[in-house]
Structure formats: C-alpha cells, structure tokens
C-alpha cells in the first residue's frame, strides 16, 4: 500500500518539479507511530539541519503522513530532523534524530520517521505535560507543610507564577479544573504537590484533612 501511495505521489511530484529549479531535488519523508507503523502522522511541520545548514520548514504535502521538501545538490547525507507537532496537540519541537537522505535523481527518499507513543494522541496516550526547569527536581505527589499564604507566594515557592485557584473546597479529593504545570492541594497547613496536571485529574488531600483550596501554577 505504501509503495503504491509513493508511486502516485511521485508521479504528481514529477509534474510539479517541471516548474521548479532544475538544480533542486525533491526529498520525501513519512511519519508513522512507533506503536503502530500503519498509522500515519498528519499535520506536522519538519525542519532539517545539516551542520550549520538549516533548511526551510516544510509542511506536509498531504494529510496522510507524506512530506515533500526541496534540498539542493551537495546537501544530502545525514540530517537532523525536528518535528513541530503543535497542530496535533504535542510537543512544539520534537527531536526525531538523524535520517539519511540519499540522492536518487530527481527524487530522494527519507526513511520512515517514527513518533513515540504519548508524543501526540494519534500515536496513543496523551501528550506529556510540560515540565519547566524549575520543576526538574520536584517530586510528583510529594507533600510539605508551611503557611505560604496567597497563590502568588505558593507558586513563588517553586519559582512559578499563579495560573488559577479552586477555592472553598471540602472533601478528601478534588477534580482539577484546568491544565497546569503544577498544582498545590492545601489542607490545614500542608500541601500535596502535583507536577503536570490536566483538567479532570483527581487531586487528593495531603494529610487526610478536608481540602481547603487548590492553587495552579505556571512556568511562565
């Protein structure tokens, strides 16, 4: 199926190449899910880097995972590939490592690039929550006690800024109302720390007491 698909797209491309510079060569890439290679990844933007040469960013030629982009003679070999998956709800700049581009005039083919599960929903799971440098050593689910006062002080304790607050709560758990880089669940004078929270996540009390409020913090 993939061979047929490539043949059809290559034929169309040959027509398009007639209107382009004769010195350029067309290269191809195909993005698939690592967990299921039959699933193509559409909607991403690829950027290729070779040494100090950074190519233009290339949008997909279609919605089925195939990508066409122009490279010039002498610019073949190993290229580092980054994939902007923002449109798919994933990482803004995913490093796909190196691929080998071999000239087979007038077309070149880039080996299949696989996207790990969890990078985008299409490849299984949900995108990993963003974690900023300030939270690199913070343990998810840890607890600590102290009277920090308002959300500004609570978030500043971790070098972050306040993003929201759920107030006037009761009970032993609470459903997060928003996505956040950090959530602080307060009960009495103690806190439970949640790193990388998504709306709908269940947040628990730090000490068995009723939750008084949840503060959400952002890296920016």
Q: What is the mean pLDDT of the chain?
A: 75
At 38, list the tokens: 């039959």
Handedness of CA 140, 142, 144, 147 (dihedral sign): positive
Q: Are 48 and 80 a contacting pair, CB within 8 Å?
A: yes
Same domain, 89 and 167: no
- Structural domains in the chain (count): 2
Same domain, 143 and 187: yes
Same domain, 163 and 208: yes
**How much of the chain exceeds pLDDT 70, in percent?**
66
**Smallest Cα–Cα separation from 210: which of 179, 192, 186, 194?**
186
Same domain, 34 and 93: yes
Same domain, 174 and 110: no
Domain contains 23:
yes
Same domain, 147 and 208: yes
How many whole angstroms separate alpha carbon 77 and alpha carbon 178?
A: 45
Domain contains 9:
no
Same domain, 138 and 99: no
In this predicted model, what pLDDT tens digit does every residue of 59-115 receive, in sequence order? 666 556 665 566 555 566 777 878 877 766 666 677 777 777 766 555 566 667 788
Position 13 scores a pLDDT of: 35
Same domain, 93 and 149: no
Per-residue confidence at 21, pLDDT binned at 50, 70, 90? very low
Tell which of 123, 151, 184 closes a domain.
123
Domain contains 7:
no
Position 66 scores a pLDDT of: 63
Give the least confident one: 6-10, 179-183, 201-205: 6-10
Whether the model clears a pTM of 0.85, i.e. scores above it, the answer is no
Same domain, 205 and 150: yes
Which domain, by its residues, includes 160? 133-218
CB atoms within 10 A of CB 105: 8
Tell which of 123, 145, 162 closes a domain.
123
| CA dist list (Å): 220 to 80, 109, 139, 180 | 29, 40, 20, 11
Same domain, 68 and 158: no
Domain contains 86:
yes
Domain contains 11:
no
How many whole angstroms separate alpha carbon 162 and alpha carbon 2?
A: 49
In this predicted model, what pLDDT tens digit does every residue of 123-159 receive, in sequence order? 876 655 556 888 888 999 999 999 898 999 999 999 9
Per-residue confidence at 10, pLDDT binned at 50, 70, 90? very low
Give the least confident one: 61-65, 109-113, 167-171, 202-206: 61-65
Per-residue confidence at 26, pLDDT binned at 50, 70, 90? low
Domain contains 201:
yes
Tell which of 91, 123, 155 closes a domain.
123
Domain contains 49:
yes
Domain contains 14:
no
Q: Which residue has the higher pLDDT, 113 or 173?
A: 173
Same domain, 31 and 76: yes
Kindly report the CATH number assigned to the domain that includes residue 64.
2.60.40.10
Q: Are 151 and 165 a contacting pair, CB within 8 Å?
A: yes
**Smallest Cα–Cα separation from 41: which of 68, 60, 28, 57?**
60
Give the least confident one: 17-21, 96-100, 140-144, 197-201: 17-21
């Amino acid at each position: 199926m993939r061979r047929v698909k490539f043949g059809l797209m290559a034929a169309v491309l040959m027509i398009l190449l007639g209107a382009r510079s004769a010195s350029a060569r067309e290269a191809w890439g195909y993005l698939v899910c690592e967990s299921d290679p039959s699933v193509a990844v559409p909607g991403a933007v690829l950027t290729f880097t070779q040494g100090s040469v950074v190519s233009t960013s290339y949008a997909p030629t279609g919605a089925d995972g195939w990508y066409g982009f122009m490279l010039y003679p002498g610019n073949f070999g190993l290229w580092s590939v980054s994939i902007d998956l923002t449109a798919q709800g994933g990482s803004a700049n995913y490093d796909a490592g190196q691929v080998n581009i071999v000239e087979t005039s007038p077309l070149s083919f880039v080996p299949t690039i696989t996207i790990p599960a969890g990078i985008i929903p299409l490849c299984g799971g949900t995108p990993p929550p963003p974690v900023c440098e300030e939270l690199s050593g913070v343990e998810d689910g840890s607890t600590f006690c102290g009277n920090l006062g308002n959300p500004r002080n609570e978030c500043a304790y971790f070098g972050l800024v306040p993003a929201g607050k759920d107030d006037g709560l009761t009970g032993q758990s609470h459903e997060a109302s928003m996505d956040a880089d950090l959530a602080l669940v307060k009960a009495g004078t103690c806190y439970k720390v949640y790193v990388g929270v998504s709306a709908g996540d269940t947040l628990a009390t730090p000490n068995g007491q009723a939750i008084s409020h949840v503060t959400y913090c952002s890296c920016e």
